[in-house]
Chain A
């Protein structure tokens, strides 16, 4: 069965510092991979997705993620954190087969950005 592990339920960085949020997946074949973000009092918003076209995926708000098959990882990064990046981030996988978008989520990582 597929699963997602996000290392670190809370991450705190200084404004301007590198953001690194870790995600590892378990799957017999490379699945589709997603990062979603939830800002306070809002719904989940798609940041980026990996669909096998390119291993380095660029998303919105300066975020990017790299798919590494050998490490079964899909870590999310941003070179310079902004105060507005404070939110909860979710990594998710979707089966390659199945025909529809049934997402399996990690437990989430709450990012705090301090001045």
Chain B
């Protein structure tokens, strides 16, 4: 069974450009999460989808970030326009069930560098 896959693995863009990150969760997992790790700091929660609905987007930094999950399958996270402070590693995770003790399966992340 395929794990959580993220694309691209690396992206280097200029300030002001747009970037779209993609996440394919494990098949059948209704819950999809985005996290971000800025250089050397904690991994921080961005948002949570249940199927196609945003359950919690309290961690989204600002309105330059837009996450979608059309059809409840894969998800995209678009940054427009990108700023220098958006650089970091963006992780996607998915889980089958709700519940605080449920294991979330993580992708390998997308390293975004804004120059």
Residues of chain A within 8 A (CB-CB) of B33 are: 101-103
Total number of residue pairs linking A and B with CB closer than 8 Å: 79
Given contacts A90-B43, A105-B43, contact A100 B48 (CB under 8 A): yes
With A104-B45, A106-B42 known as contacts, the answer to whether A43 contacts B100 (CB < 8 A) is no
> Does A94 sit within 8 A of B, measured CB to CB?
yes
Interface size in chain B (residues, C-beta < 8 A): 30
Task: Provide the residues of chain B in CB contact with A107, threshold 8 Å.
Answer: 40-42
Q: Is A84 an interface residue (CB 8 A)?
A: no
A115 is an interface residue with CB less than 8 A from chain B: no
Q: Are A99 and B99 in contact (CB under 8 A)?
A: yes
**B101 CB contacts on chain A under 8 angstroms:** 32, 49, 51, 94, 101
Across the interface, A100 reaches (CB within 8 A) one of B4, B41, B100, B106, namely B100
CB contacts under 8 Å to A, within B1-49, are: 3-4, 31, 33, 35, 40-45, 48
Q: Mark A74-115, 1 if CB is under 8 A from B, else 0.
A: 000000000000000010101111111111111110000000
Q: Which of B42, B55, B91, B93 has the most CB of A within 10 A?
A: B42
Contact B31 A43 (CB under 8 A): no
How many whole Å from B51's CB to the nearest CB in chain A?
13
Set of chain B residues within 8 Å of A97, measured between Cβ atoms: 100
Nearest Cβ distance between residue A92 and chain B, in whole angstroms? Answer: 8
Contact call B42/A100, Cβ cutoff below 8 A? no
Cα–Cα distance between A36 and B91 once the two chains are bound (Å) = 13
Question: Closest approach, in angstroms, between the C-beta of A16 and any C-beta of chain B?
Answer: 29
Please give 17 more A-B residue pairs, beta carbons under 8 A apart, in addition to A97-B100, A104-B45, A107-B40.
A31-B100, A41-B108, A43-B3, A44-B91, A44-B106, A46-B105, A94-B100, A94-B101, A95-B100, A100-B100, A101-B33, A102-B45, A103-B35, A103-B45, A105-B35, A105-B44, A108-B42
- Some 14 contacts from A to B, beta carbons below 8 A apart, are A43-B3, A43-B4, A46-B105, A49-B103, A51-B101, A98-B100, A100-B50, A101-B33, A101-B102, A102-B48, A103-B104, A104-B42, A105-B42, A106-B42
A contacts, CB < 8 Å to B: 4, 9, 31-32, 36, 41-46, 49, 51, 90, 92, 94-108
